[in-house]
Structure 1
């Protein structure tokens, strides 16, 4: 793993402030998932800036343009990046998708990891299009998972987890097969689950591109992007990301309702099932689970 050095944050801040000719007032995470949700905390601490309790997804998506700020018309560029070797660059593009395309190629050339700043915006854009309270929500969810065994009397840990997250139970199974490949800077694949417990005798699979895209059981689609499809350990209820999937692991598939802007036409054009090549229209997870 390639960590962040001692001066990358400062170099990025200096370059963006020089570009705009004024001081930055705060930082925020672009998504609530993986290292991209943690590095802004480190950046805020090192730079002495506040971090706003908001992001642009309310979840994680694999591509840069897949944020609610794109729906609001905010440009991702100028986008500034730096790697651990000191390579530093600034790009201006005609669309946010071009930021993704060029940055993905550059990141691959830099060894698969860069630190970047994009979507520099004013407060009114954050207020109108940001997913508010996501950092606090993530912190509270982590605290609940750590104490999951101390759930209220009369509830199982699974029931408590689903109740707390407002999640929809999709499928419980043991990983029976896993196919993955790295292509174009993304981790693509499919994980097959053999049902256990009340799902014994059934089969399901989850397709992913860095993040989970769809969950299908016995030929029936149970959930698709942009709703969240989360695989969690059946005992600890800690998340099992796509890079941690392994044969024999027991997981519970849970569907969570996405932020409301993702259900608009603009949101579905950015991150709906057909964008990822899935041959289905979007139906909210709560409606699919009522069938």
Structure 2
């Protein structure tokens, strides 16, 4: 097991913003700040472990926020919601939870598990269901493997909590989004309960370590060229494009249940070659085209960085005249299987016209 210190929490935050390319990182920052505040109150620190270090029959669950598909609510967590979810799962299954993992290895849900792990006195397991972030709870490698999402525990900031008995992952999104709406816009959840052995066989391995490494590179006191060289040496880094935003077209169209209807198209001009670069977005970047040719598409991880210093940018930085660096990383191999592509490849977002 590895102890995570203050610097590594900062690296994890940076890596989580990089991997998510989100609209607003405030909720992720808030989770990091809550965790660092706990560091001043206790000598305990989150422990990161591999699935193989757990009891093979021990119970592991994924923890993360689920929203009702709208922008983050002003109602903030009290702080005990996830611990209550763990208690509900333990009561439902009659077994103790021995470890927690991220619901998604990016964004706010990458920052939730170390906080929950410290609160509950459990290890953070270095694996997860996505290896990145997708808009639907059902878009996981566990779904690809035919594993159930439930039972799922959900809790809100005002005291309500529920255990959802659901086996089909596609149903989880509809039910949890409905609960999130009732709870005030979001729900803390514990889902995908499974043994350590199952997680070791079916999960995306090393996902938190990958975020720590990315964050460490980007937070290092080095030049932007050195940062990019280091990122380029990582497994899965496949493309970098520098371009200046020339136009943003915000549109709306029908989406899958639980997804926000906020797709958009961003046109950029490549520097220094003048090529036409286009990004298709719905809460995250789904497609990258250069001169009309698709260069990357989901499940690839497509993200953006500030071209001046290499810090992670957000979708709010896509304003006309701004120059950004677009980076592409491969996702877990399971996502490029026929079943993975059907669940989270371009055809899964065909309502946006995102196709190859």
TM-score class, shorter-chain normalisation, is 0.7 to 0.9
Q: Which structure 1 residue ranges, 5 or more long, are not aligned? A: 282-291
The partner residue of 1:190 within 246, 257, 264 is 264
Calculate the aligned-residue CA RMSD, in Å. 2.3
Instruction: Give the Å deviation of 1:16.
Output: 0.9
Aligned residues: 277
Q: Distance in 1 between matches of 2:227 and 2:209?
A: 22
Instruction: Give the Å deviation of 1:180.
Output: 3.9
Name the counterpart of 1:280.
355
Instruction: Give the Å deviation of 1:4.
Output: 2.5
The partner residue of 1:176 within 233, 246, 269 is 246
1:47 maps onto 2:117 in alignment: no
Instruction: Give the Å deviation of 1:157.
Output: 4.6
Q: How does 1:9-24 map to 2 (within 5 A)?
A: 9-24=82-97
Q: Distance in 2 between matches of 1:242 and 1:105?
A: 26
Q: Which structure 2 residue ranges, 5 or more long, are not aligned? A: 1-73
Name the counterpart of 2:11.
none
Kept in 2: contact 1:107–1:113 (CA 8 A): yes
Q: Which sits farther off after the overlay, 55-64 or 181-190?
A: 181-190
Kept in 1: contact 2:86–2:153 (CA 8 A): no
Name the counterpart of 2:205.
132
Kept in 2: contact 1:104–1:185 (CA 8 A): no
Instruction: Give the Å deviation of 1:60.
Output: 1.0
Name the counterpart of 1:93.
166
Per-residue Cα deviation, 1:233-270 (whole angstroms, up to 9, x for no partner): 11222222335543433211122111111111111111
Kept in 1: contact 2:286–2:298 (CA 8 A): yes
Q: Distance in 1 between matches of 2:342 and 2:270?
A: 36
Q: Which sits farther off after the overlay, 236-245 or 263-272?
A: 236-245
Kept in 2: contact 1:180–1:187 (CA 8 A): no
TM-score calculated relative to the size of structure 1: 0.86
Q: Distance in 2 between matches of 1:160 and 1:11?
A: 41
Kept in 2: contact 1:28–1:55 (CA 8 A): yes
Name the counterpart of 1:67.
140
Kept in 1: contact 2:270–2:277 (CA 8 A): no
The partner residue of 1:58 within 124, 131, 138 is 131
Alignment CA distance shift 1:110-1:185 (3 Å): farther
Q: Distance in 1 between matches of 2:319 and 2:86?
A: 39
- Higher RCO (CA 8 Å, separation ≥ 6 residues): 2
The partner residue of 1:106 within 179, 193, 196 is 179
Instruction: Give the Å deviation of 1:196.
Output: 4.2
Q: Distance in 2 between matches of 1:176 and 1:100?
A: 36
Instruction: Give the Å deviation of 1:163.
Output: 3.4
SS at match of 1:266: helix
TM-score calculated relative to the size of structure 2: 0.71
Q: Distance in 2 between matches of 1:204 and 1:104?
A: 34
Alignment CA distance shift 1:181-1:192 (3 Å): closer
Kept in 1: contact 2:286–2:354 (CA 8 A): no
Q: Distance in 2 between matches of 1:107 and 1:178?
A: 30
